[in-house]
Structure formats: structure tokens, C-alpha cells
Chain A
Amino acid sequence: MTLQEAKFEYLLRLGDSSLIIGHRLSEWCGHGPILEEDIALINIALDFVGNATSILAYAGQVEGKGRNEDDLAFMRGEREFRNLLITEQPNGDYANTIARQFLFDTYMFYLYEELKSSKDETIAAIAVKSHKEITYHLRHTSEWMLRLGDGTVESHERLQNGLNDLWMFTSEMFDMDEVDAVLIKDGIVPDLNKIKASWEKRVHEVLAEATLQIPTTTFKQKGSKEGKHTEHLGFLLAEMQYVHRAYPGAKW
């Protein structure tokens, strides 16, 4: 695998995760539990869409086949998407959304912290900007973990259920393959084992403070790195891509 191929693949992993979780968050628009949360979720969705746009634009340049960010977002199929499985999981109730967001935000926080010192200048620049945003996102979701975990009996139960259901999707965040190996060697991306240690520490701390249990699920579902997704992604893409695909070549 060449450096260029590895970089393209890695950028898709980053960009697709942001794009898909941004899509999920945007589904809350107008339906949030309180107006302040509607504003927060739309704002966070916007940050993710912005991050995805920068990363996919760069992916297109790295690939060098003339594809731009929109070609990559709207013209690839289910098997070509590289987003983490957790990002495509449906919103469920608010506790489920918060659980998903907390697990993913924590991952992104430590990953982008490392990417800020990437040897690739563009990745480093995007990471600097995004890390500022992610810091706010993580603060927001961590606060909600505490409110729901240590709020009422009902909120505690809902959040614990959400965590239990999503736990099987967390281990693939830290799986590495040849793509990582090639890029780690050149100092472009971090070793995910390092991220994993920080992630576990933070997640355990917040769960403990929120009076929640670490799920005991041992099954680990993976596949996103080979484009093997859950059944949810196909529907999400059908919705996201249909206007773009229905008018080939149109400018918007």
C-alpha cells in the first residue's frame, strides 16, 4: 500500500464518521427535548458537516482523480463508506443519542488531539480547528451523561440501556490495519492504542461519576474499515444522496 492510498483511506474514515454522525444529529432538528438542546444539537451537527467537508475535500485532492467533497459524500455507495458503525446507529431516545455521542466525542477528542501534531500539514490544520469544536462537544455530552445518569430512575435506566446497546460498536474505533501502519511510520497519524487508553480512562471516570455501570458486553461488532456496515447505513445514504443523484451534473 502506498502512502497516498493509505492517506486517502484514512481520510475517508475520518470524514465519513463526521458526515454520518452529523446527519444523525441533524435528524433531531425541531424535535429536541428542550429548545436549548435543539440549538446545541444543530450546532454540533453543523460542526461535523464542516469537518467532513474539509476532510473529504482533502481526500479528493490526495486521491487525485478529480473527485471533490460532494462527489465523495453523495456518489459513493454503502460498501464504499468508511464511517465507524457507531456513527450510523439510529438516534433512539435522547439517552441513546447522548450515549452514542459521548462515546464518539471522547474518541474524537483524543484522536484529534494527536492529529494536531500530524506531519501532514493539512491534517494538522484541520485537527487544530476541529479540536476546539470537539472540546465543546465533549463537555456538552459529558454534562448530559451526568444529568441523565444521576438524574431520575427513568433517565438512569434509559442511559444505561443506551450504553449497553452501543458498547459492542466501540472496540472497532481502536482497530488498526495496514493503513494505520503506513501512516504511523511517517508520523501522520497516532497509534490508536494510545487513544484507547485515554478513551477508557475518561469513559470510566464519567460513567462512575454518573453512577453508571461499564457494560459487560463482550461481543465486538466491526466491519467499517472494509465497508461492511449495519443495515442502517443504506437507508441513511438513500435519504442523504437522493436529490444529488436525481439530477446528475446539476449545480446547486
Chain B
Amino acid sequence: MDDAKQLEAFEAKIASGAKIEPKDWMPEAYRKQLIRMMSQHAHSEIVGMLPEGNWITRAPNLRRKAILLAKVQDEAGHGLYLYSATETLGVDRTELLSQLHTGKAKYSSIFNYPTLTWADIGAIGWLVDGAAIMNQTALARGSYGPYCRAMVRICKEESFHNRQGYEIMMHLAQGTPEQKALAQDALNRWWWPSIMMLGPSDDQSPNSDQLMRWKVKMESNDAIRQRFIDRTVPQADFIGLTIPDKDMKFDEKTGHYSHGPINWDEFFEIIKGNGPCNAKRLKARVDADKKGAWVREAATAYAAKQAKEKQVA
């Protein structure tokens, strides 16, 4: 079959709602775009372990410590799962990690903000995971089989993370005045970054018809952002916290909340590498990789010896 016919068959398959599997024919642009998206997602999971891991040793009680450990373990598991899914497209994890370490590949801008207090752990679960779910439930309906299946599983776990984050915020908001202040402060610092993490507004990030048609991208950034805001503002009201946006109001006509102007300069600066923790996060990953090199070499050497012994025997 020539390329034009293969492309036609490929698009027809996607239009019919069937999934594309690793061994199916796919256009190179589709493969490249998926590798970019999926590896960026995998990198976000493992870089995201750092700001949360920052509070494991200081969690305020044993229950919270156990929950946070379990949550961060989930994130590491998502990373592993997503790297494996990306490998089905013919690129290996070592190569993907080297792209992260050299700055060639990106990860979510949100993890370049610092976790300054315990309340930030609540804010991340509630807002960051909450925003991520909005995006990921859409992606679960995409066209690439391994990625969709990963998303289904990941979304289930993320919804637990989201609830535990909100539960932390609820306890803080109903706690002592100092605790409530911690919660409000965390919301103030994480709100704007959370709504920005869903990506530039549609006028700055026109959706390629092709990516939508190929079901690589499912919804526009602004549409996902709107759903996140509509869901989250009443949750803040319910626990007595204030969204730090004086223009935020419910529009009876549209049935949606409308928000004030977003400071996109900050977002683009962070994407360029100029955020409070960009250097720190990347350094932590590069250091872990370097310090782990001799461990991985030892494991490889041992496995080779074992294989040789088996052959002799």
C-alpha cells in the first residue's frame, strides 16, 4: 500500500473510534508528537516526586506520612508506566531520560514552584492533580492504545490524590486560625500556576486540525481550563477559602465562572527555564542519575555474570 492509502486507512480507523496499536502503521508526525507528549508526561511524574517528596519526612502525623508516601509511590509508578508506553513507539527510556537531563525535553511547568509549607501538599493534590485529571480524562479517549490504557489507570489513582489533597485543605481550613492561614496562603500561591499548567490560551496555541483529527489532542486548553475552574471554585467556597482572583465571578448567562487576566509572562518565563525551582529540580534528577550510574553498572555486570554461569552450566 502506498503512503496516501495507508494514511487514509489510518485516519479511517481513528474516525471509527478504534485504537492505534504499536505495530500498526502510523505517520511519522503522529509518532513524534506522541513521543513528545508521552515522555513529557512521564518526566512530569518523576520530577513531580521532588516537590512532594520534600514533605514526606516532615508530614504532621503518621497517617499523613503514609498517605503521602503512597501517593508519591503512585507518581513514580505512573512514570514507569508512561516510559514503558512511550517505548512502544520505538524509543528507549535511557534516551528519553537523557533528553530530560540535557533540557531538550520538558516537564510540566508547575513543578518548578517550591513547596514551602505542609499546606502545599494539600494544594498540589487538590489543584495540580485536579487540573491534571481534567486533561488526562480527555486524553484517555485519544487514539493511541497504550497511552489511553495508561491514562485510564492513572486517572483512577489521580482521583484519589485529588481527594486526599482536598481533604488536607479541608482539615486545615476547619482547623486553628494558623492552619487556615496556611491553607489560604497555599491556595494563593498555587491557584494561578495551576490554571496556567493547562497550557497557553487558545489564541496563543491554535490547535492543529490534524492533531485533533488524529485524536492526539482531544480538547482545547481553554476548554479544559474552564472545566477545571468550574469544578474548583465551588470547592473553595465550600471550605471557606478564597480564590485569589478578584474578577472571578459566576456568569449566569453562560453557566460558567469567568476569571481575571492570566499573567502569561510568568508562564513563558518558567517554560524558558526561569522559574523558582527549574535549576534545582533538574539538578536533582541529573545528580540522581549520575550518583546511580555505578549502581546500574553493577547490576548489569552481575546479570552478565549470571547469564554466563548459566550458559556454562
A interface residues (Cβ-Cβ under 8 A, vs B): 23, 26-27, 29-39, 42-43, 45-46, 49-50, 52-53, 56, 69-70, 73-74, 93-95, 146-148, 150-152, 154-155, 158, 239-240, 242-244, 247, 249-252
Decide: A158 and B294 in contact? CB cutoff 8 A.
yes
Within 8 A of A (CB), among B60-81: 60-66, 69-70, 72-73, 76-77, 79-80
Stretch in contact with the other chain, from B24-32, B101-109, B171-179, B222-230: B171-179
Determine the distance from Cα of A28 to Cα of B175 in the docked complex, in whole angstroms: 31
Which parts of B139-173 form the interface with A (CB within 8 Å)? 168, 171-172
Q: Which residues of A contact B305 (CB under 8 A)?
A: 150
Name the residue in A37, A69, A70, A151 with the highest tally of chain B Cβ atoms < 10 Å from its Cβ.
A151
Is there a chain A Cβ closer than 8 Å to B37's Cβ?
Answer: no
In the complex formed, the residue of B with least CB distance to A26 is B56
CB < 8 Å A-B pair total: 140
Known contacts A49-B65, A151-B301, A39 near B73 by CB under 8 Å: yes
Taking a contact as CB atoms under 8 Å apart, the answer to whether A42 and B72 are in contact is yes
Report B281 CB to chain A, min CB distance, Å.
Answer: 10
Inter-chain contact A33/B296, CB cutoff 8 Å: yes
Task: Say whether B292 contacts A42, CB under 8 Å.
Answer: no
Interface residue B203 (Cβ < 8 Å from any Cβ of A): no
Q: Which residues from 263 to 313 on chain B have a C-beta closer than 8 Å to any C-beta of chain A?
A: 284, 287-288, 291-299, 301-303, 305
- The dominant DSSP class at the B interface is helix
Chain B, interface size: which category? 35 or more
For A31, A32, A240, the residue with the greatest tally of chain B CB atoms inside 10 Å of its CB is: A31
A42–B76 touching, CB < 8 Å: yes
Chain A residues closer than 8 Å to B77, beta-carbon distance: 39
CB-CB nearest 6 A-B residue pairs: A33-B292, A151-B298, A155-B298, A33-B295, A29-B53, A30-B49
Chain B residues with CB below 8 A from A150, complex form: 302, 305
A94 touches B295 (CB 8 A): yes
CA separation between A23 and B175, bound complex, in Å? 27
User: A69's closest neighbor in chain B, by CB?
Assistant: B62
CB-contact partner of B62 in A45, A70, A152, under 8 A: A70
Structural contact, A247 and B179, CB atoms closer than 8 A: yes
CA distance A37 to B295 in the complex (A): 11
